[in-house]
């Protein structure tokens, strides 16, 4: 920073989400006439369901133009509680549900609430980059939970438990996961929850934003279904991925009773409330037909079954099967390039946007993330272009 303005020291510790930079660069290249296939950004390539759009239009026409309660409109908090009970079979009190502008806000507030110098917060690495960024911002120590290819990028409960110290305040988990598509098996979650009984000072943030994107008949295991940790569990989910509503900025979370008030105070200090019409749209999404959600999951699965074998055919690339979300996270070490180098070359020279594994933490070196939230045709063209280019590099 030059000039007379002096930012606070903590601003130098705030990271970013490279996927947005890649998106901006891909769009700039496309504006210059380049044919770019975007496998970088993590958002469904589907439109929000029509009944959701209609509900927002009706809300505006009906005069829902003002502030709402900071916690969200009561019918939506009730609908979230009923929806979660139907999805996971666990009773949720609407008083513990908060409606926030996106899933990200729940993680920001949860980390702000627990993070300060001297505290430790555990987070998945490679993982969604905002966890590490905000932990560092608060001055807490970011303790990585290593996710390895050998275990399908799922953690081992005993390794996680072994890293807990008296200073650990918050444990962040994310399954199904971004950027790996990894899903933690139920046995490991059972073991983790059992072991947490010995560490009652640790709160858990379970990021379940991909809870409805699991493949091969797998069922989502929500941390909500473990009553023994409900007094210290923060559940993060939302509308972005499930209902193709990333731009509406709609998320919800379930908080333990004692944390509802601090979370709501953060909301009042930050954004006051979520856009009123968007909340009515969110209600329609939860209570209306779910056929589009199921169709999206089937389409993602079809693409997953196309992209993984295609990636495995590329020279120097191997890819384990992702079990959830809409990402593949191939190992690219055999190409001889670093993740960042390959990301940049694929975008600039091949016209395919991807995100370097290192954007998701230091342990992402040697991998790049492909989002398969794009048409089968585009995925096939992209991988074939990459294949030709990689072969030329070697030849």
Under the rule (CB under 6 A), what is the footprint of ligand PLP? 42, 102-104, 128, 174, 178, 207, 209, 238, 240, 246, 251
Q: What 3 state SS string does 239-260 have?
A: CCCCCCCHHHCCEEEECCHHHH
Residue whose CB is nearest to ligand PLP in the complex, by number:
102
Q: Distance between CA atoms of 314 and 390, rounded to whole angstroms? A: 8
List Cβ neighbours of 239 (8 Å cut-off, separation of 6 or more): 245, 248, 250, 251, 252, 282, 285
DSSP-assigned letter for residue 248: G
- Whether a cis peptide bond, with omega within 30° of 0, leads into 127 is no
- The least CB distance from residue 335 to ligand PLP, in Å, is 25
* Residue closer to ligand PLP, measured from CB, 27 or 380: 27
Q: Distance between CA atoms of 278 and 245, rounded to whole angstroms? A: 10
* Residue closer to ligand PLP, measured from CB, 110 or 337: 110
Q: Distance between CA atoms of 239 and 76, rounded to whole angstroms? A: 12
Cβ atoms of residues 328 and 372 within 8 Å: yes
286, HSE (Cβ side, Cα atoms, 13 Å): 24
- The least CB distance from residue 134 to ligand PLP, in Å, is 12
* Residue closer to ligand PLP, measured from CB, 246 or 343: 246
* Residue closer to ligand PLP, measured from CB, 18 or 174: 174
Cβ atoms of residues 133 and 111 within 8 Å: no
Rg (CA), the chain: 21
- The least CB distance from residue 316 to ligand PLP, in Å, is 27
DSSP 3-state of 90: coil
DSSP-assigned letter for residue 318: B
DSSP-assigned letter for residue 272: S
* Residue closer to ligand PLP, measured from CB, 102 or 366: 102
Cβ atoms of residues 320 and 183 within 8 Å: no
* Residue closer to ligand PLP, measured from CB, 72 or 351: 72
- The least CB distance from residue 148 to ligand PLP, in Å, is 18
DSSP-assigned letter for residue 331: B
- The least CB distance from residue 241 to ligand PLP, in Å, is 7
- The least CB distance from residue 228 to ligand PLP, in Å, is 25
* Residue closer to ligand PLP, measured from CB, 296 or 337: 296
- The least CB distance from residue 119 to ligand PLP, in Å, is 21
Helices (H), the chain: 18-31, 50-61, 74-88, 103-114, 129-138, 157-162, 186-196, 257-270, 276-287, 291-313, 339-345, 376-394
- The least CB distance from residue 287 to ligand PLP, in Å, is 19
The structure tokens listed for 259 are: 């944390």
- The least CB distance from residue 63 to ligand PLP, in Å, is 27
């Amino acid at each position: 920073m030059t000039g007379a303005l002096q930012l606070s020291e903590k601003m130098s510790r705030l990271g970013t989400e490279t996927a947005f930079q890649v998106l901006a660069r891909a769009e700039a290249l496309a504006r210059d006439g380049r044919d770019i296939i975007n496998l970088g950004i993590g958002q469904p390539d589907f439109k929000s369901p029509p009944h959701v759009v209609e509900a927002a239009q009706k809300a505006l026409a009906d005069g829902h133009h003002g502030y709402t309660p900071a916690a969200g409109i009561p019918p939506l908090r009730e609908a979230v509680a009923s929806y979660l009970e139907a999805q996971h079979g666990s009773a949720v009190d609407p008083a513990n549900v908060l409606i926030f502008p996106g899933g990200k806000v729940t993680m920001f507030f949860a980390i702000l609430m627990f993070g300060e110098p001297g505290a430790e917060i555990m987070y998945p690495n490679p993982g969604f980059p905002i966890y590490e960024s905000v932990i560092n911002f608060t001055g807490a120590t970011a303790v990585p939970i290593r996710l390895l290819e050998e275990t399908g990028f799922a953690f081992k409960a005993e390794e996680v438990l072994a890293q807990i110290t008296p200073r650990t305040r918050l444990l962040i988990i994310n399954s199904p996961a971004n950027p790996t598509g990894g899903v933690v098996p139920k046995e490991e979650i059972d073991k983790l929850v059992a072991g947490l009984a010995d560490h009652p000072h640790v709160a858990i943030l379970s990021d379940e934003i991909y809870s409805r994107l699991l493949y091969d008949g797998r069922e989502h295991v929500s941390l909500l279904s473990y009553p023994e940790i409900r007094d210290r569990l923060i559940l993060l989910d939302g509308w972005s991925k499930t209902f193709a509503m990333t731009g509406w900025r709609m998320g919800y979370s379930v908080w333990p009773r004692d944390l509802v008030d601090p979370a709501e105070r953060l909301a009042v200090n930050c954004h006051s409330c979520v856009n009123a019409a968007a909340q009515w749209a969110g209600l329609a999404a939860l209570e209306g037909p779910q056929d589009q959600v199921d169709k999206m999951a089937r389409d993602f699965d079809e693409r997953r079954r196309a992209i993984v074998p295609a990636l495995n055919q590329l020279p120097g690339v191997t890819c384990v099967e992702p079990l959830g979300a809409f990402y593949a996270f191939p190992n690219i070490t055999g190409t001889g390039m670093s993740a960042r180098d390959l990301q940049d070359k694929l975008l600039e020279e091949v016209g395919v946007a991807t995100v370097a594994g290192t954007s998701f933490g230091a342990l992402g070196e040697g991998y790049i993330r492909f989002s398969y939230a794009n048409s089968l045709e585009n995925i096939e063209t992209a991988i074939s272009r990459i294949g030709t280019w990689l072969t030329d590099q070697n030849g």
